[in-house]
Structure 1
Amino acid sequence: MKRKHPLDDAHQSGEEPPDDEPARQEPKDKHQRITIDPASSLPLPLPPPLDANAIASFQRDGFVLLSRAFPESTAQQCRALIWERLVQDGIEKSDPSTWVERHGIPEIYTAEDAPVWDGVLTPRLKQAMDQLCGRDRWEDFGCGWWMITFPDQAEPPWEAAGKWHVDGAAYQHHLDSKESGLLAVFLFSDIAPGEGGTALSVGSHKWIARLLEKNEPRGMKGGAVSFQARKFRREQVVEVNGKAGDVMLVHPFLLHARSKNLGQKGADSVRMMCNPNVRLHQKMNLNRPDGAYSPVEQAIVDALRKPPSHPDSE
């Protein structure tokens, strides 16, 4: 929005500027130079995408929703490309008889595939990731790890439909692993309650931190982490809901699962989401002398200093 000068109304109405405001000086001739302070012409810095309350909730619960992380128009164009990709696997948008409960797409999309994908990783999203992981600490990534779910394939009530897990089956997990610094859940379609948004186990990143601590220095395989964590009762589960263009930013230790898509709006209830794993350039530092931890690190440090109350085994 164009910034309005406080004198504009007066100038437009023909009124004189108030006494406490200096009158605008007009040049005596067209060759007279007017000096402008460069600092006064600079745009004001935008506030960070995540405020202190949002960061605190991320550390406490293990996730935070960044609304309007990228434009809805970009999400719409990406949806069209995904539907074209699904046709290759025999799934037609206009033919519900071809729909299945879930369908994975192995490709990772970047601007090299289509320019529109470059519009997903906006400066606003990148700044939020800097806030959570630390500036310049995470590696660039593409839109991958797609799991598309379709309506009319599952029976109520809404609940997790896949196994509860932490991402990263291919590497040995440690408290400071760099292989996963953040999980970003991209919404390319609107997802209302019960429409298959990822199920999140609130606060479970704290249990995982304690579990990994007990298994240092040898670490744990990803499958073993998930297997052990599934033994504990999940006291609170929330579903990822939001609008196309939102991104749920999730702590890498948080338990999550695919959920039932009970949507009733036909093709508009097809869940278009991807959840790429964001790697770090270096291992996390959980012993910073200056205490300048990233929120991802701080959540782990807090869990180790003040162990969470483990839910009872199921």
Structure 2
Amino acid sequence: MAHRLQVLTPDDARHFIEKGYVRVKGCVDPALAKKWTDEAYTRLGYDPKDRSTWTKDIVWMDRHNIAAIKDISPKGWAALCDVTGGEDRIDHRIMEIESQHFTTIDSTEWSDAFVVNFKRGEDKPWLPPSPASGGWHKDGSFFRHFLDSREQGLLTIVYWSDVVHKGGGTFVAPDSIKVVANYLADHPEGVDDGDAFGKLIDQCQEFEEITGETGDFIILHPFMLHASSNNHSGNVRFMTNPPVVLREPMNLNRENPADFSLIELATLHALGRDRYDFRPTSPREERWRVIG
């Protein structure tokens, strides 16, 4: 890598390349997490101490508080720069997805657009992560997927509460990156069928439940197949999953190997190549518009 790591250690970088994700701890001030999650209960009209007021098992909230990552999490921003190859490789524009509903993407901001798992599936058996647990997918319903796509440059998770075992933590399949990378390499025309990725979980054998503490920031390769899980813990899980858009598509054939980002190195590792001259054979068809 040409850039110097700011936050990640060499072991962190190696873990991302080989396993497709890295955890960075202490990326959210606990006082800010409490403030925003307390406000979330008020916005929902729920009493945090009265489960009878929790009318929905899981809620996807709109953004209310919004802040630059640099301001509220310098460590988180530095980690993003470490993985992407530098701030200049992150798209700083504000974009609005033109899909079933309008969603704003700004790779430089975090917000309180929480996914709040109050008690989803507590009345059902808890299944460990496996193909049988279901719900596996790759994010990105708003673009045609290519091996080098920039639109879902990274999958990220911010935990705004402690997440214990069986507490609604995200399920991941680390070896899915190899499966998805080879699938996309075999389809240079791109893939529009989002369900096609979920079916690839049957080829995977590595599964993990991502638990954690308030302030944990988990940065995952965009090819990571993942799924939500049921919450049997009695604790409420607050998380956000802000997307990261790259300024340019991944370059898997850089002249200087030191210029590869960790994302590109992880993709090449999954393909078993030192470099790969990928060229899409169909238009990219981005479905968004720049609004700022």
Provide TM-score, normalisation by structure 1: 0.72
How many angstroms apart in 1 are the aligned matches of 2:113 and 2:196?
A: 20
Shift of 1:295: 0.6
Count of matched residue pairs: 248
Shift of 1:150: 1.6
Q: Unaligned stretches of 5+ in structure 1?
A: 1-45, 112-116, 308-314
User: For the structure 1 residues 281 and 144, does the alpha-carbon distance in structure 2 shift closer, same or farther, using more than 3 Å as the test?
Assistant: farther
Corresponding residue for residue 227 of structure 1: 198
Aligned residue runs from structure 1 range 61-80, under 5 A: 61-80=19-38
Corresponding residue for residue 262 of structure 2: 295
Aligned residue runs from structure 1 range 91-170, under 5 A: 91-99=46-54, 100-107=56-63, 109-111=65-67, 121-136=72-87, 137-139=89-91, 140-143=108-111, 146-151=114-119, 153-159=122-128, 163-170=135-142
How many angstroms apart in 1 are the aligned matches of 2:200 and 2:224?
A: 10
Aligned partner letter, 1:262: H
Provide Cα deviations, 1:264-294, integer angstroms capped at 9, x if missing partner: 3xxxx10000111111111111110001211
Q: Is the 8 A contact 2:36 2:112 kept in 1?
A: no
Structure ranking higher in strand proportion? 2
User: For the structure 1 residues 126 and 164, does the alpha-carbon distance in structure 2 shift closer, same or farther, using more than 3 Å as the test?
Assistant: same
Shift of 1:118: 5.9
Would you say 1:272 and 2:206 are equivalent positions?
Answer: no
Aligned partner letter, 1:235: Q
Fraction of identical pairs, as percent: 29
Q: Is the 8 A contact 2:153 2:244 kept in 1?
A: yes
How many angstroms apart in 1 are the aligned matches of 2:154 and 2:69?
A: 19
User: For the structure 1 residues 81 and 120, does the alpha-carbon distance in structure 2 shift closer, same or farther, using more than 3 Å as the test?
Assistant: farther
Aligned partner letter, 2:215: G
Instruction: Please give the secondary structure, in 1, of the residue aligned with 2:208.
Output: strand
Shift of 1:166: 0.7
Q: Higher relative contact order at CA 8 Å, sep ≥6: structure 1 or structure 2?
A: 2
Shift of 1:194: 1.2
Aligned residue runs from structure 1 range 12-51, under 5 A: 48-51=6-9
Aligned partner letter, 2:50: D
Provide Cα deviations, 1:54-112, integer angstroms capped at 9, x if missing partner: 1111111111110101221221112112222222xxx432321233332212437413x
User: For the structure 1 residues 119 and 299, does the alpha-carbon distance in structure 2 shift closer, same or farther, using more than 3 Å as the test?
Assistant: closer
Kindly report the root-mean-square deviation, in angstroms, between the aligned alpha carbons of the 2 structures: 2.4
Instruction: Please give the secondary structure, in 2, of the residue aligned with 1:132.
Output: helix
Provide Cα deviations, 1:240-287, integer angstroms capped at 9, x if missing partner: 2111111111111100000011113xxxx1000011111111111111
Q: Is the 8 A contact 2:175 2:205 kept in 1?
A: no
Shift of 1:164: 0.3
Provide TM-score, normalisation by structure 2: 0.77
Q: Unaligned stretches of 5+ in structure 2?
A: 92-107, 275-292
Would you say 1:82 and 2:40 are equivalent positions?
Answer: yes
Structure 2 counterpart of 1:255, from 225, 233, 241 = 225
Aligned partner letter, 1:132: V
Aligned residue runs from structure 1 range 169-184, under 5 A: 169-184=141-156
